[in-house]
Structure 1
Amino acid sequence: MTAPSAPAPGGAYEWPAGKRSAFCFTVDVDAESPFLWSLKDAPPPRLLGQMEQRLFGPRVGIWRILDLLDRYGIKGSFYVPGVVAENHPELLPAFVERGHEVGLHGYFHEFATQASDAEFDGALDAALAVFARQGVTPVGFRSPAWEMTPHMLAEVRRRGLYDSSLMGYDHPYTIDGVVEAPVQWVLDDAVYFKFVGGGADHWPPAAPGPILDGWIDEFETLHRYGAMTMLTVHDWISGRAHRIRMLERLLDRVVADPAVWVATVAEVAAHHAASPNAARFSVPARTPEAIASRRHGGA
């Protein structure tokens, strides 16, 4: 029995005519950048394993993902740290040549929990400079590790970018004047498959079958609700052979329904900004007060 649709409190989200939901295929092209960030306060190790594992992404994995998207006629959104664009100058031109969107993803994949406001601003400007030297003007930003602060939102807004890092709805919304194209952890490959070895992991990578079943269920139910499926994969993780096959099986389902709007995140963000959705789904950024500052009534 099919459950009824459940629109959000603000009403149903309005997609382009003839479309019931949206699907975005996004790639966080992390490659070696998080590993480099982890070394900022430590001497470089003399070990090759993790670096080589991550370099599989720009050497092999990303090209398999690009070919996959070509086969399905899908344009994706690729979020690239500045250092990855600098170390692998063939990447941004290849993404643009194939018609994909390219967005910002920090410089060294800086974590919001570990970087100061000044470090964030410097990383954003450094990444923008790398992109400019390679002839690319991004319109979107995705925070490394998907965390934001009010300061980060303000800087993204000041530069006229959309953001794709938060999870307050499962369709686009506006937060502090910034168009937000939300992500969600259940549709991220790294939480299931990331495995760096060397004794650092507490469990092996998940088998792809149950994850694929969950992704298909999520996509089909979000479509029924008139929401958005924001899939996120990584070059060095989903470029492996059996995960390419997993993505093929998912995309077979996605492209079979003409009521699904398969779009880049930039296209979805532009639609939101130009539509009544922007005002109907608009929220302020809220951070919690310290518990000790709250007043409690006495008995």
Structure 2
Amino acid sequence: MVQRQTPQPVVQLIGVSKSYGCVPAVQALDVTIFEGEIVALIGLNGSGKTTALALMAGLLRPTQGQVRLFDQEASASQNRRRVGLMPHTRAVPESLQVDEWIDFCSQRYDDPLPPSFVADVADLSDFQSAPLATLSNGQRRRLAFGLALCGIPDLLLLDEPATGLDAVGRTVLAQQIRHFAQTGRTVVLTTHDLTEAEALANRILVLHHGCLLADATPAQLRQQAGGSRIRCRTSLDLDWLRQLPSVTDVCREEAFVYIHTPTPESVLRLLFQYDEQLSDLAVSRGGLDDAVRQLIHTTSVVI
């Protein structure tokens, strides 16, 4: 009988905090990420996602605590060739051609992927002679993903990888990320898109004000939400809605009000009773976005 090997830790954040002056970016993070995992960092703007990713990449040193990659200090030179990074933005020499830029980036690795394969991953095989300045935002993002893979890394760090991609590009990117992880390698990505996080990740880390609110599977987070979500247009005051029996969370996003409750029937009766202009009503089971919203709302109230 063949015994399955225990997955080895790839990323370890041990009591990690990072401040810029007196402003904390991440606070007391304790996280271990194992080989073969796809982990999504989610949270509002300014929650510390990009800082956490930069710490994992060894680009930043923690103010307190320790970051380890492959059981070494994250900044160790040996790690540089084992980590592929796709930053959210990256300055490029606009006058270079696509193939020239791939060749240049490949030179830092001992045994990189063939440049033609990188161009194919980026769906730029027909644009290898094109100047970088002529690429669209989506093409630049696909190229950045291909370059992150060109060193055949054991750890892939992706900062908002799907930004700027169309629907087809997002689907292809998701397939490529899954294939990469299936080889036993590790992926950590940041995203604002909870649908993307739920579809890709087997673990989700929820950050808020630099603190780790949750470390769970998508299913575990959805279970926390429970109940139902009511979406509607209403003139009723949000604070009044929050006082209704069984209402656990209320928020407004653009023109819509979202109400989370385990007993939607009773809440709906009150909505119809007190708002004759109630419109655009929809009721759905609680999902990942509801769970994250509740976590953030509850923590904000405590803070």
TM-score (norm 1): 0.28
Which structure has the greater CA radius of gyration? 2
Which has the larger share of helix? 1
> Whose RCO is larger (CA < 8 A, sep 6+)?
1
TM-score (norm 2): 0.28
